Amino acid sequence: MVCVAIAYGVFSLSTADSAEPNYDESRVPAYTLPDLLVTQDARPVKSATMWRATRRPELLDLFATQVYGRRMTKPAAARYEVTETSALEGTARRKQVNVDFVAGDKTIPGLTITMYVPAGRRAVPAFVGLHLFDTSAKEPKPAMPIEAILQRGYAIATLNASDFCPDDKDRFREGVLAHDYPGRNGPPGPEEPGAIATWAWGLSRAMDYFETDADIDANRVAVIGHSRMGKTALWAGAEDERFAIVISNESGCGGAALSRRQFGETVRAINDRFPHWFCGNFRQYNDKEDTLPVDQHMLIALIAPRPVYVASAEEDRWADPRGEFLAAFHASPVYHLLGTDGLPADEMPPIDNPVHGTIAYHIRAGEHDLARYDWEQYLHFADRQWKQEK
């Protein structure tokens, strides 16, 4: 099965080699989610200490070895070249940060961070993600509400995935992976990082930079992503606890949606179309989602007790909005264990009626997109979490 054009506007469904996606709730198979609060050796997790010391490391390892691949090592050192100009009629500063990595006597080409910071402000909170705006333009596109973000006192930063890991099944190794896995060809090996893990690694390298930049409050950085980059944001936030808020916008299969529902995009569909996104071991769960040792509610729980926002769109059935809601709901027991409120809803809310706890969720009208409505909710959420509400 391959991606359908109605959801992503990129690929068409081929009836020659693909089954029709399931969009019928009555055809969702019966499933039992793996228990968040029972260890692999069947011990109940009854305390925050046990979650942190035992269960959380278990789940991180399972996601790394069975879904995304093991994270590459952090470079020994990085070199930053920063260029700054005035932007948006003087209301912002545009900074471009070229990052190279240093390994012994070698310099490894890294990535570029492009960011807008409110003029006259220092130590501001920030949003960071991949492909949030067009970095080739001197000014952001009107559809991206950068001015509204800046007016609320936030910086906004983006990375281009192609700088360090091309989104191409034949070329994804041409970036930084070539240095950790020299001479390798073809799709990722059993536990090798795919593109999503590599992009998440790049977001952590951006976080390394923020810790050196007086313009950014590195304790208040939200990682955000849409679609495949929403999957990336969730995995980055699970692995790197420096991200204070994690936001998934319509991330679907391999992101916020429960795999066991087999609704819309499935494990087979995503592995067939994007064999470079996940580690090799993930392919063994094609059409066998019920044998996965994890499901995506566990990914969201790995972010606890930090705030996380999951969002869906009504017409984006490919990403399984109900599956995204249910994953957020079933992550709540860990948030409760750690002393927060989790998701304050046990039923999926109506369209355009967000529910906000430490876990937040909304489903809006419309198609697969990171829309202005979504950004408005994320700004309100960040305001409340960081006491920015005016």
Provide the annotated active-site residues. Answer: 227, 368
Rounded Cα distance between 361 and 345, Å, is 9
Q: Produce one character per residue of 221-248: b if its CB has 16 or more CB atoms within 10 Å, e if not.
A: bbbbbbbbbbbbbbbbbbbbebbbbbbb
In eight-state DSSP terms, residue 45 is -
Distances from the Cα of 118 to the Cαs of 146, 173, 357, in angstroms? 10, 36, 28
The bridge status of strand 77-87 relative to strand 92-103 is: antiparallel
Sequence-ordered alpha helix ranges (H) in the chain: 5-8, 48-50, 56-63, 146-151, 177-180, 195-210, 228-239, 267-273, 296-301, 321-337, 372-385
CB 318 within 8 A of CB 4: yes
Q: Which residues pair with 364 in a beta bridge?
A: 313
Tell which residue, 332, 354, 353, has the closest CA to residue 343.
Answer: 332
Tell which residue, 363, 362, 371, 351, has the closest CA to residue 313.
Answer: 363
Distances from the Cα of 30 to the Cαs of 25, 269, 290, in angstroms? 11, 20, 10
Rounded Cα distance between 49 and 146, Å, is 40
For the four alpha carbons of 269, 275, 277 and 280, in that order, the dihedral sign comes to: positive
Tell which residue, 313, 267, 262, 363, has the closest CA to residue 24.
Answer: 262
